[in-house]
Structure 1
Amino acid sequence: MRMEFCEKLQELRRARSLTQEELARALYVSRTAVSKWESGRGYPSIDSLKELSRFFGVSIDELVCPDEIIVAAEAEQRELAGRFRARICSALDVLLVVLLFIPVFGNGADSPAAVALFDLTGISPWLKAVFAALVCATVLEGALGLIAARLDKPTWSRRLLAAGMALSIASVAAFIASRQPYAGIVCFALLVTKGFFVVQGKHGT
């Protein structure tokens, strides 16, 4: 009976007297990835399968059966789609920096013209500081999310995405509660757009 991929990988690694950490370094992947492959909780990407084939000197057909190749390809497609969605959401958060410079804030009854956040004087200093902190934290989270996606850190990306959603919700609530509708609408539009991508990811599309 043919061994499954996870069993075959364990056998090949142990035949070389390698630890999971050593194999991970040789393949330029994380030890967690190797652990998932060997426990059957995940499949390597097609590129990783090619690297495994070269490293152990066996054909891909010897490593995986056709059904497992299909599963691996589907997993890779989902991973790539997830990275794309994470990048889009992070980029949207970075775009929130425009709130620091464009005139979308009401400056009180004595000044009907809208102003940028930096020029806002018609509210208390602490409230202005809260607005600035929310915007800057969201922009920073977005920048870190782009870096995490670039470095292929899916766990970081998921955590930063969750943080970005929480910051967006807090921003919408803060702007609406303080009667800053234009800024609230901008944040709400970004929140809805990010929510769309998150829901897409949950449904695996």
Structure 2
Amino acid sequence: MFGVYELKRQADLRMEFNEKLQLLRKQKGLTQEELAEQLFVSRTAVSKWESNRGLPNIDSLKAISKLFSITIDELLSGDEILLAAEQEKNENARSLRTILYGLFDVMNLVFFFIPLFGEQNGDFIESVSLFAMKSLESYMLVAYVVIFGITSVFGIVEILLQDCQNYFWKKNHPFFSMALTIAATLLFILSQEPYIAFFQFWLLIIKGFLYMKQP
């Protein structure tokens, strides 16, 4: 097979994965952009692999193996196989955490309709939904709708981008999510809505726990 023959002939099985990938790509006359197109990944991903800043996930490794007619065992050393497995595990855990962040944020849509807001009714305060409040000032209603709306939309974006490899997004979306929850918690504390403030506070605690657990 072309890939195996060339690697063995040049004693390149001792090379690291990034060096093997560069060699195989150049032997096949491909640019990074062309290789990325054949593997259905971004050119940035190929550049990262070739500069030894990460390893492909299992699906990309299978695609590379098929493209160059070489086994995964010949592409990766023993240590690299362990590293790739650990990387895959971390990526799966990160995707799950992103989905959970997204679900918690989308949950804000529910807060429009469940009775978590206090409404004065004679000598009593009864629990009502947001849109059932009659004494709420219009500017406060707008503030509540805005914070719920922005957080919910951001949650949908998080779910859609659960597998996004952009470094800025991966690093910062938990901070954006927690910042929105902090803003909501403070808003409801200041407007003296203890029930919804309590729920927002616990969402913040859970998000903080998820963030502390990430590798």
Return the TM-score normalized by structure 2. 0.87
Partner deviation per Cα, 1:155-199 (whole Å, 9 max, x = no partner): 345544332211101000100011111010111111111111111
Which residue is 1:88 aligned to? Answer: 100
Q: Distance in 2 between matches of 1:19 and 1:159?
A: 31
Q: Which residue of 1 aligns with 2:164?
A: 153
Structure 2 unaligned residues grouped into runs of 5+: 1-10
Task: For residue 107 of structure 1, give the secondary structure of its aligned residue in structure 2.
Answer: strand
Name whichever structure is richer in strand by fraction: 2
TM superposition shift of 1:83? 0.3
Check conservation: 1:108, 1:123, Cα contact below 8 A.
no
Q: For 2:165 and 2:52, how far apart are their aligned partners in 1?
A: 19
Shift of 1:127: 1.4
Letter in 2 for 1:143: I
Unaligned runs of 5+ in 1: none
Aligned length: 200
Deviation at 1:20, TM superposition (A): 1.4
Instruction: Write the distance in 2 (CA, Å) between the matches of 1:157 and 1:46.
Output: 20
Kept in 2: contact 1:141–1:160 (CA 8 A) = no
Question: d(CA) in 1 for partners of 2:47 and 2:35?
Answer: 10
Number of the residue aligned with 1:131? 144
- TM-score scaled to structure 1, two decimals? 0.91
Tell me the C-alpha RMSD between the 2 structures. 1.7
Do structure 1's residue 73 and structure 2's residue 101 form an aligned pair?
A: no
- Contact 1:145–1:157 (CA<8 Å) still a contact in 2? no
Q: Compare CA radii of gyration and give the structure with the larger one.
A: 2
Aligned equivalents of 2:67, 2:126: Cα separation in 1: 66
Quick one: which amino acid aligns to residue 193 of structure 1?
I
1:30 is aligned to 42
* Cα distance between partner residues in 2 of 1:3 and 1:65: 9
Match of 1:6 among 1, 7, 18: 18
Identity level (%): 42
